[in-house]
Amino acid sequence: MAKCDVCGKDENMPYNCRHCGGTFCADHRLPENHDCTGLQDWNDPSGVFDSGFDDSVNGGTGSASASSRVLDKLPIDTGPGGPLAYFRGNMTYTFLALMWLTFGLQLIIGAVSAELMRSLFILHPYYPQYVWTWFTSIFAHGGLYHIVGNSIVIFFFGPLVERYVGSRDYAILFLVSGALAGLGQITIQIIQAGGASPFMGGVLGASGAALAILGVLTVLNPGLKVYLYFILPVPIWLLAAGYAVFSVFFLGTGGGGNIAHGAHLIGLLLGLGYGEYVKRTQNVRAPNQFQLGGGPGGPGGPGGPGGPGGRRRF
């Protein structure tokens, strides 16, 4: 459920304006009904293309969504057709862009100083006081397959969750679940090892957030069909249960290589809990069918390098 940017009305099926990126109810969904800034960019507040014949046609002023107002202040074109138009009111793709930008920074900084890269992007059991890594580690990844696997899940599932809970709550869910999954993973490592050590591996990756997104959809519609690799239809509850069993098994046996199974499980549980909250308080449901192409190793990808200074991918 989301609120209309004009009247504040709660909407189970909100409309997102493709011109300004705002969220509106049925009464205000048309550009002319919410003083759309996109029409202002076209120099046509009436929604009719201005041929230039009538020079008296001027852009109107009015309210827009908070995200649109922020983007309007940037020194580059953020209107329809502009380079940032794709990200207006869309936190899923904004987070995906940040993931890939962070991955690029990892490669650049790592080529200069591996130690600096680790201190900036890897959440380590021995240095949990590096608070910035609680969040930078969400966007950092251990390799190409790792980031591609997480990107696929977030790309397909993220917009569904964002549509039903709103961009603000979706952003909070993504960041909080990602951070708690990472912190939970290093806590498990410390308990299993009987204490923290500088030679322990750190964690990085967005799988905690990705599994939280999966958990939300599992509660909202457990029968949602996911077409793995665009071929095999699987209900989403079975997919979530498979991840849970897989993670619990390897946590109990101490196996699973360098994949952060604790982070996977924590992210999934957080998503299930938040999904139940949304279901009880907002009474929303997801679609009945969805198509997903899996990535190598699934969410989180394959395990990372082991040994001293290694890191767990999640």
What amino acid is encoded at 103 in this protein?
F
Number of Cβ within a 10 Å radius of residue 167: 21
Looking at per-residue confidence, does 194 or 57 come out higher? 194
Give me the residue spans of the domains in the chain.
1-37, 86-281
1-37 homologous superfamily: AN1-like Zinc finger (4.10.1110.10)
d(CA 118, CA 209): 21
Who's near 162: CB < 8 A, 6+ residues apart? 90, 91, 92, 170
pLDDT at 311: 54
Q: Both tokens of residue 154? A: 């977030």
Residues 242, 246, 141, 174, Cα dihedral to 10°:
50
Domains 1-37 and 86-281 share a fold: no
Instruction: Express as a percent the part of the chain with pLDDT over 70.
Output: 68
pLDDT at 312: 53
Confidence tier at 292 by pLDDT (50, 70, 90)? very low
pLDDT tens-digit series, residues 119-136: 999 999 888 899 999 999
Q: Which of 110, 103, 108 is nearest to 204 (CA)?
A: 103
Residue 202: strand pairing partners: 311
Kindly give the residue spans of alpha helices, DSSP state H, lying in the chain: 37-41, 66-72, 91-112, 114-121, 133-139, 144-165, 167-193, 207-220, 236-253, 261-282
- Class of the 86-281 domain? mainly alpha
Residue 193 pLDDT > 90, yes or no? no
Confidence tier at 100 by pLDDT (50, 70, 90)? very high
Residue 209 pLDDT > 90, yes or no? yes
pLDDT tens-digit series, residues 25-63: 888 888 778 877 666 555 544 444 333 333 333 333 443
State the Rg of the chain over Cα: 22
